Structure 1
Amino acid sequence: MPHLRTLRPPPPAAVPSPAASCRAPVWPGRSEWLLMSVVPLTRRNIGPLLQNRNFLILWGAQGISQVGQNMLNYLVIVLVEQLTGSSTQTGLAILSFLIPGVLLSGIAGVIVDRSDKRTLLITTTLFRAATASAYFVYLLRHDWPVGVLVLVIDLATLLRTCVNQFFWPAENAAIPLVVPSEHFFVVNTLLGISTNIFTVLGFLLLGPFLLKLFGTRTVLGIIIVLYLAAAAMLALLPRRSPTLGRNGNGLRSRNGSPREMFAQAIRVLRSEVHESWRLIRRDRAITVSIVYSSVIQALTLMVGTLAPGYAVRVLGERPEDAFVVILPAGLGMFLGFLLVGPASSRHRWQQLINRTMLLCGVVLLALAGTPLVARLNAPALPQGARAVLWMSIAWSFLLGVTNPFITVPTQTVLQHRTPAEAYGRIFANRQLLANIASIFPILLAGAMADLLGIVWVLGGIGCLTIALSAFGTLYLKPVVPHPEPEREGAAP
């Protein structure tokens, strides 16, 4: 049966291949950036994707595992908030998602590029199911001190995220191998919408509902079953032999002593990691896309760190009802994915990102200022609390709308500009930079929220976001030129 890489059709003869354009250390020309012309998300454009069996398998397995993962993420945050009631501890729990990315992303990217994507996806999904069972320790030893229980939860999350460092690049690298390049924007928009749906379904609907109805033990069992179902679906992908890489050398050698084999593997890893960073440095389109995606991930995680405390300490909700803040953001993201295509077709994508960052900062300031203004106007009236709740829901919804206007364009740029044999390393390095950019802000945001208050920290994050938007507008404007409209009769 054909392997994954052969499923990607070659680019048309009149259009330079993304791999070739990526190797050239020059600015993308007009014809190259026309590869990223925005395709509306219509039934006609989605049709070919729905006829692609391998894409449907990857998409379905992604959806099942994302529902399980988001249910588990919600469970972890709720358990930590219930045990500690501290934004700092919640930040530490989220931080355990990031540390493995800093330590393992470079190695994971090389292994992904030199491994069979199907085998790696199945193996890591099974390991994710195994790591989810580690949270049963919390149930079996609930009489332990709070600090020990929180440490157990953080270590289980750390172990789970170590496995994810190999799963995420493999998943990102497999999608462009089964989808033609002209469908990249549609695929990213479709995956963004479905990811948002699966996040809402797992994190905001099934997670809270099943946790209230059945308890932690049953929720963990359901999560493990979902991971096993995703692995079974991935097994339906066609088999293939592990790729040896561009130089024909794998990470292992059959000749020599174990010490020599280990030394050779280390040399290959170092060479591949250095080559991927050279590729990022010499292609400014990739560089800027990685910077923007890292910033939006750091911003999302900082707000996620503060969301449970905002719901509990500002809105007066219970920890398990933190979804009153997160659910509107998820619905807003769904709308944003529907709007990003038409908006991107009328604006330069980098200009669109800068303006979106500005709007995001303004919304964060409004989210921080709403409780203060409402309480000044009606400090003792019940309707004041209701006004704070509904206005916070509205700002949270608008905050979610802004996310796709950054994530979809940057993801599409990376897919077009990256050679097929370097997908794993580039996406792993993007995750590495995003994790590094997130660690200190998350720790600082949680600690400052406990010290100064959540609304003041949200306001500070809003000011920093506005400053970043201004910096991007003033200093990064010429980084990635937007293609001019194709004139009639002009050469492609």
Structure 2
Amino acid sequence: MSPFLAVILNQHFRNLWFGQIISQIAINMMAFVLALRIYQTTASNTAVSLLILTIGIPAVFFGAVSGTLVDRWDKRNVLVVTNLVRMLLLLGFFASSETLPWVYLLVFFISITTQFFVPAEAPTIPRLVPKEFLLTANSLFTFTYYTSMITGFVLSGPVLRFFGPHNVFLFLSSCLALASLFVSQVPPEGKKESKISLNKTEFVKVYQEFLNGLQFIAKNGPIFQSIFLLTASQALIASLASLTPGFADKILQIEIEDASYAILGPAAIGMIIGALLVGQFGRNLSRQSLINLGIILAGFLLFLLSTIVRFRNLPLAVLLLFFLGGANALVDVPANTNLQENAPSQVRGRVYGVLTSLVGGAAILPVMITGLAADIFGIGKVILAIASLVLFYGIYRVVKERYNILSS
């Protein structure tokens, strides 16, 4: 029997796996459905930017503490409760998805809940799968994590069109109810607090560990560089994502609902293929070279994308977005590898906790500026400005690297 088949036939893992797939699709679909609805209602890039910020801000405050707190609780209970809470909150959009303060408030609480859901998922796998199949189970879980995320984004437009602006949230709530049913079939962890509660002392202790993680990163050059690259990459993605509905409407002049698969789809596919190619062939190249190539290529592609304003060429935009996703993989995969190799196991969790918080925090200003600037100056000029910054940084890295080589 193949390892993949053995893992899939494991009923407890399968319940966790199905719960992951369904909840990931539902939450990511919710995010882009709301982005489309907000743009349809307001025609404002700034309003969409505020949505992205509302999703990201909870990671700043809870990203570093959620994992430590979840370790103190029964993870099965955490998965069930967080899915049910998000299901109930999603029903609030059925009442209204046009009142912006109400939408932002619900999204904020859904995002807080998700911060506790994520660290309870993957750490549950070792309890359910024999050691000899652990690598296979993690590989399958990681693959479906990203593919279900992409599926949620890409299908959001068609699902919104099929169910309509209100019933779509009933559908998404039903998905989370089903996900909760699946994870409830996972065996309880045992020897953990079955009751989920928060303790002030625990929060203080966890934030002290977070500060220690910051100090460790500041003193370690390779880790600091990887954290910076990954944070900047995610901030760039969040900024561009906030422009997606407006780019579809004003630049490509396609239906808003088609933005999910016409814009996000090619970029996501490019990211997946790029990651696979880096994993297969990137070992023969230095990681710094891959990162520099990715940054400069991304800047060049963004520059070309800004010219779409004049040509309004959908096939060309799809091609550029595909390669832009690949360029992102050239940066993210080597940077992540450097981070894992240079962070000792005893502080790795704290380092990734810091990364989660920084990604949420660092995106706040760029996303806000991007949305406002797009409404004032136009999307094409904003993308051109971003392209210039990315290209400048890529060239700076290459020049600095060569100077260091000559100096040594």
- 1:168-317 equivalences under 5 Å are 168-171=118-121, 187=138, 193-205=143-155, 207-241=156-190, 262=200, 264-317=201-254
Letter paired with 1:71: M
Mapped to 1, the partners of 2:191 and 2:353 lie a distance apart of 19
- SS of equivalent to 1:390: helix
Deviations along 1:342-396, whole A, 9 cap, x unmatched? Answer: 1322222332122112111111111101333x3xxxxxxxxxx5xx121111111
Query: CA, structure 1 residues 126+451, in 2 after alignment: closer, same or farther (shift >3 Å)?
Result: same
- 1:439 has 2:356 as partner: no
- 1:262-411 equivalences under 5 Å are 262=200, 264-323=201-260, 324-372=262-310, 374=311, 385=312, 388-411=313-336
Judge conservation of contact 2:94–2:167 (CA < 8 Å) in 1: no
Mapped to 2, the partners of 1:409 and 1:53 lie a distance apart of 35
Query: CA, structure 1 residues 59+88, in 2 after alignment: closer, same or farther (shift >3 Å)?
Result: same
Mapped to 1, the partners of 2:302 and 2:133 lie a distance apart of 36
Letter paired with 1:101: A
> TM-score, with normalisation over the residues of structure 2?
0.84
Higher helix share: 2
Letter paired with 1:227: L
- 1:465-476 equivalences under 5 Å are 465-475=390-400
**Aligned-residue identity in percent:** 28
- SS of equivalent to 2:189: coil
Structure 1: gaps (5+ residues): 1-42, 143-148, 245-250, 253-260, 375-384, 480-492
Mapped to 1, the partners of 2:42 and 2:296 lie a distance apart of 34
Mapped to 2, the partners of 1:169 and 1:471 lie a distance apart of 37
- SS of equivalent to 1:96: helix
Judge conservation of contact 2:157–2:256 (CA < 8 Å) in 1: no
Mapped to 1, the partners of 2:35 and 2:133 lie a distance apart of 39
Letter paired with 1:223: L
Letter paired with 2:267: A
Q: Give the alignment's Cα RMSD to 1 decimal.
A: 3.5
Structure 2: gaps (5+ residues): none
Judge conservation of contact 1:361–1:466 (CA < 8 Å) in 2: yes
Cross-structure match for 1:102: 60
Query: CA, structure 1 residues 435+173, in 2 after alignment: closer, same or farther (shift >3 Å)?
Result: farther
Letter paired with 2:370: A
Q: CA deviation at 1:330?
A: 2.3
Query: CA, structure 1 residues 194+130, in 2 after alignment: closer, same or farther (shift >3 Å)?
Result: same
- 1:428-467 equivalences under 5 Å are 428-467=353-392
Q: CA deviation at 1:95?
A: 1.1
> TM-score, with normalisation over the residues of structure 1?
0.71
Cross-structure match for 2:87: 129
> Could you tell me which of 51, 54, 64 is aligned with 1:93?
51
Query: CA, structure 1 residues 99+270, in 2 after alignment: closer, same or farther (shift >3 Å)?
Result: closer
Mapped to 1, the partners of 2:169 and 2:249 lie a distance apart of 24
Cross-structure match for 1:485: none
